[in-house]
Chain A
Amino acid sequence: MAGQLLQPGYEENKLQRVSKLLPCRDVQSSMLLALMGEPEQYSYPSIFIYGHRATGKSHVIHTLLKELDIPYATVTCVECVSLGLLFEQVLFSLFGPDSATLLSRSPSLSDFVRVYKQLCVQNPAKQTKYIVLDRAELLRDMDANLLPAFLRLQELVEDNVTVILLSEIVWDKFRPNTGCFEPLLLHFPDYSKDELQQILSEDSHPSYSTELYSAFINILLGVFYSVCRDLRELRHLAALNFAKFVEPLESGKVNESETHKLWRNIEPHLKKAMQTVYLREVSSVQWEQQMEKEAGAVRGLSAHGHVELPYYSKFLLIAAYLASYNPARTDRRFFLKHHGKIKKTNFLKKHEKTSNHLLGPKPFALDRLLAIFYSVVDSRVAPSASVFSQISSLVTLQLLSQVGHNDQLDAPKYKCAVSLDFILAISRTVSFDIVKYLYDFL
């Protein structure tokens, strides 16, 4: 945090406060300040800032603009379902509450520029105004002329205004067909491991020493850093798992200096958190409740392949899986008693040799499903309506999916939509060895 921000035109104590608020972003904030220049000087018409999630893009911009009392409007594009909302927010924050009423209902870009100009004439200000558009990638999905117009807004409204776009996606993906005004590109690099450590250690727990907390952060980063570098996500995980980390300390089993024991205690929990909390399979509240309930027994939640199905439905699903992942020509080999000898290598055409588990399920006809079903199920089943209704309930459960239109009544086609792990679990419950019947695993 040694870097001191310097820029004429702003009060020194304000700049100092800003640099305290922006740890590990000295280079970026001083670069931005330099580009902005003194309050009255022009800045580049549009600046595009990109970088990964949680690299401080919005934070740096907002802190700078807010703390230095620069007139600015900030809009998150996710909130703007219509153009009108976007324009309203910009005018509201730049010119005060009355201004937005000047816009007509469902305003066009032309209206916005006209009102903006009009307001500029009414209350002239010399300071550079800033319009910050967060999540700017969503602008691409709005009107085609919106993005090019915002990029050259300074020229269109003839005012001292700079548009700052923030996005995670690189500029190359924004450029329209016929080109547009090229903004100034700035990159916010990701935090290094040391910087993450420094930032995360700042929000330490009041009743424990900072050293302990930073040791905890060190362990946390050791587990998660190779998967996730998102500061927000890491912070969330840190907050959730800290209680678990200090549990042995509170019960008095270990003291603070025995970091190795603490590490042994927390590591399986962090691994588990990676499987559940990180994937958002449970909300953090649920996770906390679950932690309270089962103190000790570590079991990942990811085994949610717990679906109770009727006996025949299970076989139907198995049959569907076989039909989806085996080539139709191999059915003879699996389900006929005297099929003779068929070798794997020269039996199939070339394109069928690549594993079907890589290419995904193939569609199959109802007849084939039933034929396989009758040969895998061990008792005799009559082709009754109940079997057919079970097929359609499997479709409703999204374990099967129907291919093509629903109106094909006589020869519907299906695809199996479950994973290998799921079907293995299912076939275990009915003690059916599905691997023996899968062509890919021969």
Chain B
Amino acid sequence: MSKRKVKETHMTVGECISQVQTILRQRFCHQRLPEKPMGIESQHKHLLELLRRTAVHGESNSVLIVGPRGSGKTMLLKCVLRDLLEVKDVNKNVLQVHLNGLLQTDDRIALKEITRQLNLENVVGDKVFGSFAENLAFLLEALKKGDRSSSRPVLFILDEFDLFAHHKNQTLLYNLLDVSQSAQAPVAVIGLTCRLDVLELLEKRVKSRFSHRQIHLLSSLSFRQYLDNVILQLSLPPDFADAKFFEEWNDSIKRLCKDKSVVDVLEKHYNSSKDFRSLHLLLMLVLSQVSVCKPSIKPTDLLEASRVCVADSKANILHGLSVLELCLIIAMKHLSDIYEGEPFNFQMVHNEFKKFLQRKSQSIYNFDKPVVMKAFEHLQQLELIKSVDGSTGKIHKEYQLMKLMLDHNQIMEALQKYPQCPTDVKQWALSAFG
């Protein structure tokens, strides 16, 4: 990208589009940090102040950032860290340790990772430690003996904080919070989690060492703001190389967001989820349709993208079943209707299916039982039906009790869309009793 930033102001459409793709894809796919976090200014200020106190004054602290998935916890933290590192004195002094609950699945691995990230592998060497606490204390001690007289502040960032609570005895959490509580070394423990009940997971001794400072990220975006955000996300930055294209693009985006159908689609998305991640998903699908022959976003693109986003995947899978499998599903539907959701077995389904065949004079679906069984097993493989009790051991598979994992409406809808659905099958599905 930097190579292309030569001072020429006029580029071909192809180059412009390529630039647009690059810039916007970084936003949607790479979680590029925005200049200013939207809608969470107070949280940003709070966290920055907290971390500054650790970094500059050497105060220890612990804090939890809680918010649903995709609400911007990591984004907030990263913005704060970026701003923090801009402060003089902090830049060289502060150390960061990033841990992730998904990666560091037990405390031994976590400790190794801490050692590595603090560049203390050679200091530790082959030393053998009696306990976890001893090891951690040694690490922090080692930091103290650096070139500065006092110890350097360390920021511990624990992503997926709730997963650390499942470690044995919560040793890591206990020790980190203990250090932050007693004035051994200046550390800040920042946990990120999507679980609101995370404190309940902590043991009593761990909980008592936590400062109980929580930052909640519960999005309170109004639709107006949401719409502004869409415009902001899609617009090009003012330092775009081609001024003419820049204006055209941004104008087209503004026009797009005034379109009635577009607003409707966005409102639907807003009502189902407000987080940025699902918005990015939608916009990414829109963006992928932009090409040289179609250098702007049309309302139809957005409609199409939203259709892909909200498509019911089970209905899609139903669409691909064979007629026999569909018949079995209908038989199961009837069984669940009659017996009010009681589980069924293959024998019952087959019986129901046979009843359907008998009612017709000419039956083209006269299949052997093993063939029907194979279709039934295929449905089980697709997890459209599920056995009620997990043990498959002793019971004959024909009598294994099953549950239908589909909704009444899903079946009917799939039936409507089914290509060349035989009319008698359709009627059978619509009839109240099998």
Contact = CB atoms under 8 A, between A and B. Distances in A.
A110 B18 contact: no
Interface in A386-433: 401, 403, 417, 419
B322 A227 contact: yes
Contacts of B133: none
B382 A179 contact: no
Given A44-B284, A113-B103, A229 B374 contact: no
A278 B322 contact: no
A130 to B, nearest CB: 13
B365 interface: yes
A297 B383 CA distance: 40
Contacts of B43: none
Interface string A214-254: 00000000000111110000000000000000000000000
B281 A44 contact: yes
Interface string A344-374: 0000000000010111110000000000000
A189 B278 contact: no
Contact of B31 (A155, A171, A417): A155
A226 B29 contact: no
B102 A278 contact: no
Contact of B21 (A41, A185, A225): A41
A279 B371 contact: yes
A35 interface: yes
B316 A189 contact: yes
Given A44-B28, A401-B394, A51 B281 contact: no
B351 interface: yes
B95 interface: no
Given A43-B29, A108-B109, A275-B370, A37 B288 contact: yes
Nearest to A51: B320
A179 B194 contact: yes
A225 B322 contact: yes
B242 interface: no
Contacts of B293: 6
B319 A190 contact: yes
B50 to A, nearest CB: 24
Interface stretch (A68-76, A141-149, A261-269, A288-296): A141-149
Contacts of A359: 345, 347, 399
A172 B195 CA distance: 20
Contacts of B316: 50-51, 170, 187, 189
Contact of B313 (A170, A190, A275): A170
A55 B320 contact: yes
Nearest to A108: B109
A235 to B, nearest CB: 16
Contacts of B101: 145
Nearest to B395: A360
A38 interface: yes
B314 A172 contact: yes
B386 to A, nearest CB: 9
A275 B371 contact: yes
Interface in B57-115: 69-70, 74, 100-105, 109, 112-113
Contacts of A172: 313-314
Interface residues on B, range: 35 or more
B277 interface: yes
B368 interface: yes
B382 A168 contact: yes
Contacts of A9: 18
B21 A360 contact: no
Contacts of B74: 155
Contact of A185 (B14, B18, B313): B313
A437 interface: no
A286 to B, nearest CB: 17
A115 to B, nearest CB: 12
B48 interface: no
A141 to B, nearest CB: 13
A201 interface: no
Contacts of A229: 320-322
Contact of A274 (B18, B364, B371, B381): B371
A413 to B, nearest CB: 12
A190 B394 CA distance: 36
A226 B323 contact: yes
B22 interface: yes
Contacts of A110: 103-105, 109, 112-113
B6 interface: no
Q: Is the interface of A mostly helix, strand, loop or mixed?
A: loop
Interface in B93-141: 100-105, 109, 112-113, 116
Contacts of A312: none
Contact of B371 (A42, A149, A278): A278
Contact of B345 (A168, A179, A278, A360): A360
A156 interface: yes
Contact of B25 (A41, A179, A358): A41
A180 interface: yes
Interface string B303-326: 000001101011011011111100
A341 interface: no
Contacts of A168: 381-382
A359 B351 CA distance: 11
Interface in A86-113: 108-110, 113
A156 B399 contact: no
Interface string A291-322: 00000000010100000000000000000000
Given A41-B21, A108-B105, A192-B419, A417 B396 contact: yes
Nearest to A180: B69
Given A184-B281, A189-B320, A44 B105 contact: no
A52 B277 contact: no
B169 interface: no
B345 A173 contact: no
A45 interface: yes
B396 A156 contact: no
B320 A109 contact: no
Contact of B399 (A50, A170, A302, A361): A361
A42 B365 CA distance: 50
B195 A45 contact: no
A182 B351 CA distance: 41
A41 B419 contact: no
A38 B104 contact: no
B367 interface: yes
B415 to A, nearest CB: 15
Contacts of B347: 357-360
Contacts of B396: 360-361, 417
A419 B373 CA distance: 13
Nearest to B74: A155
B30 interface: yes
A351 to B, nearest CB: 12
B26 interface: yes
The 10 closest A-B pairs by CB, nearest first: A360-B399, A190-B320, A34-B288, A170-B313, A42-B29, A226-B323, A52-B320, A110-B103, A149-B102, A42-B25
22 contacts: A8-B14, A8-B292, A31-B288, A35-B288, A37-B25, A41-B25, A43-B29, A108-B105, A110-B109, A145-B101, A145-B102, A168-B382, A178-B162, A182-B281, A226-B322, A227-B371, A300-B368, A302-B370, A355-B351, A360-B347, A403-B394, A419-B398
Given A170-B313, A227-B371, A403-B394, 18 more contacts: A8-B17, A41-B21, A51-B317, A145-B102, A148-B102, A149-B102, A152-B102, A155-B74, A168-B382, A173-B383, A178-B194, A178-B195, A184-B285, A187-B316, A227-B375, A274-B367, A278-B374, A357-B347
Interface of B: 14, 17-18, 21-22, 25-26, 28-31, 69-70, 74, 100-105, 109, 112-113, 116, 162-163, 194-195, 277-278, 281, 284-285, 288-289, 291-293, 308-309, 311, 313-314, 316-317, 319-324, 345, 347-348, 351, 364-365, 367-368, 370-371, 374-375, 381-383, 394-396, 398-399, 419-420
